[in-house]
Structure 1
């Protein structure tokens, strides 16, 4: 199979019968630009990690970010109540519970009902781009629940940092 032919570099009206409903009710597709730290800063997430928030969707409890573990380290055991899809951008990462190591451009899929412990042994750590849905429960080393993070937790993480540092809240991150 080859790619479908494209003989026009212009918008083609495909005649979708529900286009008016889509136009009236959909928030529409969009481009979220996060070119620098003023638009979406790196926000501490523990002692050795930071998060760059990309998008928040309260309708689906969906959030997107880049997690940066800056050097060899651990993001403690956590339990997913939703689906997670991540792409390794830099460095490498593994879970103690599995026998694989994710490297750049590798895709990690985490399904609801799984718990695991994220570890990077790479000297430069790891950067992971992720789309996450639903709450994530974080546990201490004795299996005690420490925190539940959902879209509202991540929005608060972003907004508190912006307010504390005199940064404007980027409304384009809110889908």
Structure 2
């Protein structure tokens, strides 16, 4: 339970009034399966969307790839960071394996193919900035995922399954 006596009052800054009037507060976004369901992403993966920031073309989600699964080759057009939550995973193009607690960052222009051969699969929290271009097994362009693609992925699933759209996710 929150103890109001622990809240510290800081002195006002020059722009405090404008901040109070016009700025959006930070947000709490529940991550339970009801508030953010696991949505299929191909045959071997699912995405739990956490937030969508259209102003910055950014999104946060948890990617779950089941054992023996892979995500098609993709190229990032913006910065991406991730932290492994469960299992292990890597990219065929690199010689490291990410395990729980490991932090990964990817620079614009990076292209790679994510896989997990962990018996329990993997889950990682991703913060994605900019577009991601996906390619098929022949290296031909397939589709682009940006914040708007992620929004459609989430809202279409909710609408098709009679689930409410969690408006708190739109920051």
TM-score tier by shorter-chain length is over 0.9
Q: Aligned residue for 1:91?
A: 87
Task: Tell me the residue number matched to 1:19.
Answer: 16
SS of equivalent to 2:148: helix
Give the aligned partner of residue 5 of structure 1. none
**Dislocated runs of 4+, deviation >3 Å:** none
Match of 1:32 among 29, 33, 50: 29
How does the TM-score come out when normalised to structure 1?
0.91
CA distances 1:79-124 after superposition (whole Å, capped 9, x unpaired): 0001111110000011111111100010110110110111111011
RMSD (Å), alpha carbons: 1.2
Whether 1:41 and 2:37 are equivalent positions in the alignment is: yes
Q: Counterpart of 1:63? A: 59
- Counterpart CA distance in 2 for 1:115 and 1:16 is 44
Determine the structure 2 residue equivalent to 1:3.
Answer: none
Other structure's SS at 1:14 match: coil
- Picking from 131, 136, 157, the partner of 1:161 is 157
Compute the TM-score of the two structures, normalised by the length of structure 2: 0.94
Shift of residue 23, structure 1, vs aligned partner:
2.0
1:148 paired residue among 113, 136, 144 = 144
2:124 to 123, 128, 132: 128
CA distance in 2, matches of 1:32, 1:173: 6
Q: Name structure 2 gaps, 5 residues minimum.
A: none
Of 54-63 and 15-24, more deviation after overlay is shown by: 15-24
Instruction: Please tell me whether the aligned partners of residues 72 and 124 of structure 1 are also in contact (alpha carbons under 8 angstroms).
Output: no
Q: Contact 1:61 / 1:133 at 8 angstroms: preserved in 2?
A: yes
Note if 1:109 corresponds to 2:116: no
Aligned residues: 167
2:135 to 115, 121, 139: 139
Q: Note if contact 1:49-1:67 (Cα within 8 Å) is conserved in structure 2.
A: yes
Per the TM alignment, residue 17 of structure 1 is displaced from its structure 2 partner at its CA by 1.7
